[in-house]
A and B are shown apart, each in its own frame.
Chain A
Amino acid sequence: MMSVETEIRFKLNGREVALMVPVTMNTLSMLRDKLGMTGTKYACGEGECGACTIRIDGKTVNSCLMYAVDCDGRELVTIEGLRTPEGLHPVQQAFVDHGAVQCGFCMPGMIMQADYLVENNPNLTREEAQRGLEGNLCRCTGYTKVLDAVEAVVEAKKCCGRC
């Protein structure tokens, strides 16, 4: 009765991965249960909370809503892939510095989405950030410090243009 499995290949945080997955498995379960990449979180499984946000081919998606087989041939980045060899990614660092992290459970998804927003809009305003993070629920912080962190990243980017 086990579901049919198929082999897929894709890039995960810059490395080639090949594995067998059940055709019914979603990407979130593949990451967490098959690959042990537990940074990405489950909090609803229905596309309603954003805790499972990852990047696929540059775009953010709710990994709980995407079949694992659809990752075949594509490029995935998860929260674990954001960190650079030098240390925290600037968005991660800003979240830490601005006190945006409490229990932290929503943060992998929140940070992936925030990173996507600042990357795609160098002039991101606070209101735009609020709308862009609407799909990421946080029960602890009230989002204020999250938005402070995002604003700080946008400002820092403006000043050096490199980060």
Chain B
Amino acid sequence: MENNLTAAPIVKKTLIGQRVRKPDAPEKATGKTRYINDMVLPQMLIGKVLFAGRAHARIIRIDTSAAEKLPGVYAVLTGKDAAGLKFGFVRDNVALKDQVRCEHDEIAAVAAETEEIARRALLLIEVEYEDLPGVFTPEAGALVGAPLVHQNFPGNKSLSFEFKHGDLAAAEALSDYVVDNVFRPHHVTHCCMGTSCAIADFDHNGKLTIWTQTQYPYNYKMDLAPALGISPGDIRVIQPPVGGAFGSKLDVYPYEPIAALLAKKTGRPVKVIYSREEEFKAAPTRQAAIIHMRTGCTRDGTLTFRSADVLLDNGAYTSWGPTIPVIMMRTTSGHYRVPVVDFKAQAIYTNNPYAGSFRGYGNVQTTYATAQQMDMLADLVDIEPLEFHLKNAQKSGEVTPQKSFLRECVLAECLETAAKASDYSRKRKEYAALRDLPGRYKKGIGLASSIHNAGGAKIHKSDGIGTILKVDDFARVTVITGASEIGQGIDAVITLIVAEELGVPLEHVTIVNNDSDIAPWDVGVHASRTTFIAGNGTRRAARKAKEQILNAAAKMLDEPAGTLELRGGSVVRDNCGTPLIELDRLLRRMHFQAEPELVMVSDYYEPKSEPEGAKHISDHSAAYSHAVHIAEITVDTLTGEIKVDKVTVAQDVGRVINRMGLEGQIEGGIAIGLGYALSENMRIEKGMLTNPCFRDYKLITAPEMPPLDLHFIESNCAEGPYGAKGVSELPTIVIAPAIANALYNATGVRIFNPPMSPEAVARAIDETRQAGGRRESE
């Protein structure tokens, strides 16, 4: 084709905003994908864990001799084998315990030839416990003289946080209306369809290879190392495909060091995998909390202050759960223009299960409060909620009290778009008028919004990513990246960006991102950051490769530099699209010429954000985003059942990259939020989970999923890849309060303690009727 001027021009077609298939979907749809749960290694043993099954106890005696003698058993470990190997945020956890602090405390572990033998071995372990009085609510834990969960944490005090801005007393004096409520967001759990699993193996130099579901491979090494007493440098992390994560794999949990300790002891690979019941009991939860929130405004509907006093149920150990105030305070101070803020949070150890990070990370709980209080205040001021929201909505360029810089802010546009699309104002009035008339079924419509970081969150020293990109002699591209794939679809985004920049077919892009010995640093999948951060990393690397390729082409073809482009697998003249040489031929020429060159580039991208800092006054994300949800529901006032008829969504996505993946993230995020709002609830009685199965812990199923009307507002983020922002947490955050506000519109009741289960709603309606009218019921 070279110098063949008759060849048809190749027109530029952008892939940005198109619908691109997930590269791994065909393998997954045919059952070919080898998930970690499916993996079997030669010589592999099966590890099983003995859980305490009681909430607080001393171990008087433990006898493993019978288990050790069982044929097929290779190792039995107890607390003494992990003694001193503390890990976790505040080093309060060990892989195997010598004291019981919660139901799922790991007391012993067995490695055996088969799962059946391992199970039988567990039954042969004799443990004598002395049960101790426990604490099962943060209030109880905070009482003077309460039993201590950890002797070295007096008052059961775990982490605490504080942020104050402005003069609270003055703001209160200025307020014509103040709403003051206590919200009690509950315990829920991730319910990844693939249960927790790890496989560990040591080599003769003492280097550990661990196959794990982790979504943060590099910090994971740092966190796992102390649990084993080895160097992080001696850990290789391999991430096979996983059956979901949603934040649950953002920390080390004891089954992982247990697999490694068993592997060390036996000299063989050991796999630990949970049953569903074990998963319910031992996997992390979403942080439960008690939020005392107050918000004030003036008669004309201008917000004056917001205060939040938060007590967190830390559970028995400190994982990511009790760190959520980092985001809770951003919402408290940044959800609409709040001039005065007073936030404090204290986490209290209890003998309950402990929380990790979970999609929405603190913002699910906080927005449930802030978004309902916005609705209540609008009612008090007696203006349209939409108008009230618009009046207090920030605009581009505003800075929140914590110094979140809202560079591109389209909150008002999101509000107006969603309200118009759903005919919100008219329906709201109409339903409110019908509320107190007779009739079993009531309709309601509710609006809620929230703000979330959308360009990472610099809570670690770095929020960056490394990318290595090579283009081989056949114009096949390999991207070696730290970005983990956990089902969310970063694989499709990376493929799309490479194809966009280098003009190669999507199928010619391979991603290597699952081996810490190969791929460079990344912080992990969290904070809605991966499309933003890895998207930027990929684009920068691809542009470096492109520059090298086009420079070589210009020289070789004697074309002026800066006039060439890559398109349709060829080098073309940018202005007219005339193809000059096929890319693969060019690459071979570059490689095999007198001064040979290979195309292999690397990039380190660190977003322009500021470290969170101890004072929490920093522009900690490279972007922020808003979403508005309007939920339309029908309430059966007899049974209390809420049917969600439709949800209208307007979200600032910056710019659409892969439209199909984006829709999937919003739809899936809403499904998790719906479960949180309506049905999911870990029923924990005196520290013991009473519903560890899908029959009694109800996820949203296909018939309950409402139709969604999605509107993507493109604010074109200057720092984002092609303008994109992170998207995937907001859908989980905003839906519950939208339903809560719709419930109020329909029935006049509010539920402060989610979920809005039929029992809770029916009870609230009954109480309201008995009280002779509308009442805000707890």
Contacts and interface: CB of A to CB of B under 8 A. Distances in A.
B699 interface: yes
B694 A44 contact: yes
B28 interface: yes
Contacts of B322: none
Nearest to B273: A42
Interface in B589-604: none
A95 B31 CA distance: 13
A80 interface: yes
Contact of A105 (B35, B120, B275, B694): B35
Interface in A89-103: 92-93, 95-99, 101-103
Contacts of A97: 21
Given A42-B37, A104-B241, A142-B705, A48 B693 contact: yes
Nearest to A138: B193
Contact of B28 (A82, A107, A129): A107
B151 interface: no
A147 B275 CA distance: 29
Contact of A80 (B30, B195, B701): B30
B193 A46 contact: no
A107 B194 CA distance: 12
Interface in B191-246: 191-195, 241-246
Interface string B155-189: 00000000000000000000000000000000000
B131 interface: no
A156 to B, nearest CB: 16
Interface string B1-45: 000000000000000000101101110111111110110000000
Interface string B295-335: 00000000000000000000000000000000000000000
B488 A111 contact: no
A88 B700 CA distance: 29
A159 interface: no
Given A96-B26, A142-B705, A102 B664 contact: yes
B749 interface: no
B691 to A, nearest CB: 12
A92 B194 contact: no
B276 A92 contact: no
A137 B31 contact: no
A101 B25 contact: yes
B672 interface: yes
Nearest to A1: B120
A99 B22 CA distance: 7
Interface string B732-774: 0000000000000000000000000000000000000000000
B452 to A, nearest CB: 19
A139 B703 contact: no
B38 A130 contact: no
B193 A51 contact: yes
Contacts of B190: 139
B671 interface: yes
Given A130-B705, A142-B671, A99 B193 contact: no
Interface stretch (A4-12, A32-40, A68-76): A32-40
A141 B25 CA distance: 13
B275 A104 contact: no
Nearest to B71: A1
A103 B31 contact: no
Contact of B37 (A41, A106, A135): A41
Contacts of A162: none
Interface residues of B, number: 56
B693 A104 contact: no
Contacts of A142: 664, 667-671, 700, 705, 708
A105 B21 contact: no
A96 B702 contact: no
Contact of B702 (A32, A101, A103, A146): A146
A83 interface: yes
B722 to A, nearest CB: 20
A125 interface: no
A153 interface: no
Interface in B692-737: 693-695, 699-703, 705, 708
A19 to B, nearest CB: 17
Nearest to B31: A39
Interface in A22-66: 32, 37-46, 48-49, 51
B53 interface: no
B37 A99 contact: no
24 contacts: A43-B194, A44-B276, A46-B694, A48-B694, A48-B695, A49-B694, A88-B29, A93-B29, A95-B29, A96-B25, A97-B21, A99-B25, A103-B194, A104-B24, A104-B33, A104-B243, A105-B244, A130-B705, A137-B193, A139-B699, A142-B667, A143-B701, A143-B705, A144-B663
Q: Which 10 A-B residue pairings sit nearest by Cβ, starting from the closest?
A: A39-B31, A103-B487, A104-B28, A105-B243, A142-B671, A79-B31, A142-B667, A48-B694, A38-B38, A99-B660
Given A131-B702, A140-B668, A142-B664, 17 more contacts: A1-B120, A40-B31, A41-B35, A44-B693, A46-B695, A96-B21, A99-B25, A101-B25, A101-B28, A103-B242, A105-B487, A106-B243, A108-B31, A130-B705, A134-B702, A139-B191, A141-B671
Interface of B: 19, 21-22, 24-26, 28-35, 37-38, 116, 120, 190-195, 241-246, 275-276, 486-489, 660-661, 663-664, 667-672, 693-695, 699-703, 705, 708
